[in-house]
Amino acid sequence: MTVRDILSIGHPALRRTAAVVPQAEIASERTQGIVDDLIDTMRHANGAGLAANQIGETARIVVIEVNDNPRYPYKPPIELTVAINPEFEVLDDETVVINEGCLSVPLRGDVVRSVNLGVRYFDREGTEHCTRARGLTAGTWQHECDHLDGVLITDRADPSTLCTWDEFERHHRDAFIERISRFTERVGS
């Protein structure tokens, strides 16, 4: 198990656009090592997702997983997903305000996200996947893809909603969970 340091806001790697991973390099030792490190680091930090930029790698790779996560008990389950060169398409005009956190930013804030997405990516074996995501799951995809483009939640969040994790838990969590509950289902594969 290799747990890497998660870079914090201010580190230049978080602002770089990640490079596309050529299909011929997906099986490479380097790419597979980044994937393994992302999984170990995300799980160690109890994250719902992690992008390669967050560990200093500028490759278009993210991992996503939600399974009894103590940081996000309100999120619907997402099986471990390794996404190389992920892309998404917004399927309609429906949006939702999600109070998001980030392992690289010690704050949470309200971010407007699209509710329904079509998502395409390659897994670690190089197999292409096309799926749909809704609600909080769609928000997670958008958040992680933002990282690959050098975008942080502080760029998207309403500044008046920024707060620490503790203050979110103390003052805002219950209202957020009540508001978001109708957007939590994951649709199709």
Residue 3: half-sphere exposure toward Cβ, Cα within 13 Å: 7
Listing DSSP states for 9-37 in one string gives TT-GGGGSPPBPPPGGGTTSHHHHHHHHH
Instruction: Please tell me the distance from the alpha carbon of residue 131 to that of residue 115, in angstroms, as a whole number.
Output: 14
Element (H, E) at 91: none
Q: Are strands 49-51 and 95-102 parallel, antiparallel or unpaired?
A: unpaired
- Phi, psi (rounded to 5 degrees) for 136: -60, -35
Which residues are bridge partners to 111 per DSSP?
98
Alpha helices per DSSP H over the chain:
29-44, 135-148, 153-156, 165-167, 173-180
Residue tagged active-site, from 57, 65, 100, 144: 144
Q: Is 169 a catalytic residue?
A: no
The phi-psi region of residue 46 (left if phi > 0; otherwise alpha if psi is between -120 and 50; otherwise beta) is left
Dist CA 109 CA 121 (whole Å): 27
Instruction: Return the active site residues.
Output: 144
